[in-house]
Structure 1
Amino acid sequence: MQRHYGLDWLRIGAFAILILYHVGMVFVPWDFHAKLPGAWWVAVPMMASNPWRLALLFVVSGYASRALFLRNKVPWRFARQRSLRLLVPLAFGVAVIVPVQPWVELTSRYGYPHGFWHFWLHDYFRFGRLGPLVLPTWNHLWFVGYLWVYTLVLAALVAIVPARARQAAQRGFAWIMRGPALLLLPVGWMVLVNFVLFPGGRETHALVDDWVAHASYFPAFLFGFALACAPATLAGFVRRWRESAGIAILAYILVAAIEIRWPGNTMPAPWGTIFSVARAVEGWAAVAGLIGYADGHWNRDHRWRPMLTEAVFPFYIIHQSVIVLVAYWLRATGWPVWLDAIVLVAATVAGCWAFYLIGRAIGPLRPLIGLRRHASRRTRVDPRPAIA
C-alpha cells in the first residue's frame, strides 16, 4: 500500500477540530470537567462536528491499521507493535497527564479541600470512588484504550479466520459498498443502533458497558480496515463527495434549527426523533464527503506533513489537561466569553506545541508521548502515524 497523504491531512484536521471542540465544552451546558460562564448558542456550531468527528477518526485508524498490518504480516507481531505504541502513552497519560482534570473537577464543583499534589499522592490512585468520580481515570484518553482493544480484536480475527474467508469478506465489502449503499447502509446502521438496538442509550467511555459506542465505532474501524484494500469503494467516495457534503450540510441545518428552537435537549416529540435521525445522516454523510474530498484533493505531500502527523498524538494526550487547567485559572478573571475563548485556544495550542517539542527532543520521553524512540533520519520526525 502507498501512503495516503489525504487521510493524513484528514486526521490532522480532525484532531485540530477535536481540540477546538473540547475548548467549546468549557462554555456549553453539557457536562465537562471545568466550566466557565458561556452561552447556549455555542452548542450550535459544535454540532457541526459532533456527529462525525469520532467516527471519522476510527475509520482513518482502521485504514492505517491495514497498512501497519501488511507491514508486520503476522497477527501477533502486529498486536505487539500496536500494544507497545498505544499502551505506553496511555499508561503515562492516565498516571501523569490526566490527574489534573479530576482534581479541578472535584475542587471547583464538589469542594475537594486539598491541593493537587496531595490529591495525586493520596487520592488519585485509590481505585475506587472519590465523590462522584471513579479514580484513577482515563477521561479523554478513552479513545486510545478503545483503539487498542479494537486492534487486539482485529488481530484475533485475522489469526482465527481462514485466509479464503477473509478474502471473500473483502470482496463482499467491495461489492456491497458502492453506489448509494455507501451512504444508505452506514446511515441505516447508525439509526438501527440508536433506535432499535440501544434506544435512549448513551456513551459511557467505560469500555465494559459502552455498547452504544462499540456498536458505532468498532464497525467504523473495520470499515476503514476494509476500505484500505478496496480502491473501487474509495473511488466511489471521490465521485460522490459533493453529494455527500451537500447531504451533511442540509442535515446539519436541520439539527441546528431544532437546537435553536428547543435548546438543551428540550425538543418535544416527534422533533427529538427527527433530531437524532438528522444527526445520524449528518454523521456518515460528513465522513463520506471528507474521505472523498481528501482522496481527490489532498492526497499529496508537503514539508509540514511529517511533523504535523507526528505531533497529533502528543497534542491529543496533553490538550484536554491544558484546557481544564487554564479554564480553572480563568474562573477568577471575570472576562467576557470571547476573551476566555481566545485565551483558552492560544494557551492550549502553545501548551501542546511545548509538550511535543520538549518530549520529542528528550529520547526517554518519546515513547511516553506516543513517539518512536528514534526520529527518522530524513525528516527527524516519525512520518508514520502512532494513533492510527
Structure 2
Amino acid sequence: MERHYGMDWLRIGAFGLLILYHIGMVFVPWGFQVKTAHPLAWVEIPMFLTNPWRLTLLFVVSGYASRALLAKAGSAGAFLRSRSTRLLIPLLFGVAVIVPPQAWIELTTQHGYARGYLDFLAHDYFRFRFLDGIALPTYNHLWFVAYLWVYSVGLAIGVAIVGGARLQALFDPVFGGWRALVIPAAYIVLLETVLFHQVEDTHDFVGDGVAHLRYVPAFLFGFAMARSPIVMAAFARHWRTSGAVALACFATIAALLLAWPDFTFPDSPAVLWTYRVARHLETWTAIAALIGIAERLLNHDHRWRSTLAEATFPFYIVHQTIIVLVEGALLPLHVGPLVEFAILVVTTVACCWIFYVAGVRIGWLRPLIGLKGSALRSNPSQGSSGAARMLSVR
C-alpha cells in the first residue's frame, strides 16, 4: 500500500484529542479516576465537540492501519503474530505497572482508602477482586488495546477464511459514493436511538455488546476503506457537507445543555429524542468530514510526522496515569481551575514525551510501550528530521 500521510495525521490528531478529552474529564461532573474539587457543568459543552465520535474514529483509523500492516506482514498469521506482540505486551505491562496508580488515587480521593501506594500494590491490587466497587487489577483506559487485539484476531481469521479480495468486493459496491456517508450514519442512529439507549460503554468486554456493534463495523470499515479509492473520494468530495451537519448536531447538543446543564433534561420524549439523534448523527458526519479533510488537505509529509506517529501509542499508554497523578497532587493545593487545567496540559505533554524518549533509548522498554525492537541511533548532526527518520517504526 502507498502510504497515506493524511490518515497518519488523522491518527495523531485523534489520539491528541483523546488526551485533551481525558484532561477535560477532571473538570466535568462525570465519573473519572480523579476529580477537581469544583466540577464545572459548562465544560460538558466543549467536551461534546469530540465525545460522540472520538472512540469510533480510533477504531476506523486502527482498521485502516491494520490493512497496511496486513499487507506488510504478507499473511493473516504473520499479521496476528505482529499485532499480538505490539498490543498484548503493552497491555500486560500497562495493567501491571502503568494503571495501578490510577486505581490507588481513585480509592484514596473518592473512597476513603487509607493505605499507601506500596501497601496497595502488595495487598490489594493483584487480589483479583472488587474493592469498594472497583475491579482490581484493571485496565482502565487500556480497554481500547484489549478490544483492538480481539478485533484483530477476528480480522485475521476472517481474512484467512474468506480472503481480503472477497471482502473488498463486497465493500465497494455497497459504500461507493454518497452511501459511504449515509449508510454508516443511518446505522449508528438506528443502533443508538431506536434499538438501544446505552449512555456510555461499560468497557467490560463480555458485557459491552452495544459498543461492539458500533466499534467492530467501524474497524472493518477502516480496513476496507484503505483499499477503496471511491470511498475516500466520496469523503473528500463531501467533507464540507458532513462537517456542516456535524457542527449543527453539536450546536443542538450545546443548546440543550445550556438550557438543562448536566443533562437535567425534562421528562419529554421530544427533548430526549432530539439529544439522541443529534449526538449519534454527529458521530459519523464528524468522522466523514475528518477523513475527507485528511484525504483532501493533509496528505503530505512533514519531518515531524514519523516521530509523532511513533510517539502516539506510548503517549496513549501513559497519559491517563500522568493526568490522574498530577491532579491528585494538585487537589490539596486548591488552585483555580484555569491554573489547574494549564498545569495538567503542560505536565501531561511533557511527561508523555519523556516517557516516549526513554522508551526509544532504552532497548528493553521498547516492546513494553508498543515500539518495535531496538532502533538505529541517529547522528546528532543529522538534526531532528534525521532523528525522526531513524526512529520511525514504520
| TM-score under structure 2 length normalisation | 0.94
2:100 touches 2:121 (CA, 8 Å); kept in 1? yes
Query: In structure 2, how many angstroms separate the alpha carbons of the residues matched to 1:299 and 1:244?
Result: 19
Alignment of 1:116-265 (within 5 A): 116-161=117-162, 163=163, 167-200=165-198, 202-265=200-263
Q: 1:12-53 CA distances to partner (integer Å, 9 max, x unpaired)?
A: 111111111000000100000000023110110010001111
Q: 1:104-158 CA distances to partner (integer Å, 9 max, x unpaired)?
A: 0101111111011110121100111111101000000000110000000111111
> What is the match of residue 380 of structure 1?
390
Gap runs ≥5 in structure 2 = 378-385
2:371 touches 2:393 (CA, 8 Å); kept in 1? no
Alignment of 1:48-63 (within 5 A): 48-63=49-64
1:103 touches 1:116 (CA, 8 Å); kept in 2? yes
1:372 touches 1:382 (CA, 8 Å); kept in 2? no
SS across alignment from 1:78: helix
1:201 touches 1:212 (CA, 8 Å); kept in 2? no
Deviation at 1:176, TM superposition (A): 1.8
Between the aligned residues of both structures, percent identity stands at 52
1:47 touches 1:252 (CA, 8 Å); kept in 2? yes
> Aligned letter for 2:47?
M
Query: In structure 1, how many angstroms separate the alpha carbons of the residues matched to 2:347 and 2:330?
Result: 11
Q: 1:250-303 CA distances to partner (integer Å, 9 max, x unpaired)?
A: 111111111111121222322111111111111111100000111111111111
1:359 touches 1:369 (CA, 8 Å); kept in 2? yes
SS across alignment from 2:391: coil
1:314 touches 1:369 (CA, 8 Å); kept in 2? yes
Query: In structure 2, how many angstroms separate the alpha carbons of the residues matched to 1:196 and 1:341?
Result: 38
Q: 1:176-222 CA distances to partner (integer Å, 9 max, x unpaired)?
A: 21333222211111122213433346410111110111011110000
Deviation at 1:167, TM superposition (A): 3.3
> What is the match of residue 70 of structure 2?
69
> Aligned letter for 1:341?
F
Query: In structure 1, how many angstroms separate the alpha carbons of the residues matched to 2:370 and 2:328?
Result: 27
Query: In structure 2, how many angstroms separate the alpha carbons of the residues matched to 1:339 and 1:238?
Result: 40
Query: In structure 2, how many angstroms separate the alpha carbons of the residues matched to 1:233 and 1:179?
Result: 6
1:376 touches 1:383 (CA, 8 Å); kept in 2? no
The worse-fitting range, judged by mean Cα deviation, of 187-196 and 57-66 is: 187-196
> Aligned letter for 2:57?
L
SS across alignment from 2:263: coil
> Aligned letter for 1:298?
L
Alignment of 1:35-54 (within 5 A): 35-36=35-36, 37-54=38-55
> What is the match of residue 10 of structure 2?
10
> Aligned letter for 2:197?
P
Query: In structure 1, how many angstroms separate the alpha carbons of the residues matched to 2:197 and 2:318?
Result: 34
Query: In structure 2, how many angstroms separate the alpha carbons of the residues matched to 1:201 and 1:351?
Result: 32
Query: In structure 2, how many angstroms separate the alpha carbons of the residues matched to 1:86 and 1:253?
Result: 37
SS across alignment from 1:134: strand
> Aligned letter for 2:157?
A
SS across alignment from 2:130: strand
What is the CA RMSD across the aligned residues, in angstroms?
1.3
Query: In structure 1, how many angstroms separate the alpha carbons of the residues matched to 2:220 and 2:329?
Result: 42
Query: In structure 2, how many angstroms separate the alpha carbons of the residues matched to 1:112 and 1:144?
Result: 29
| TM-score under structure 1 length normalisation | 0.95
2:23 touches 2:344 (CA, 8 Å); kept in 1? yes
> Aligned letter for 1:380?
M
1:202 touches 1:212 (CA, 8 Å); kept in 2? no
> What is the match of residue 300 of structure 2?
300
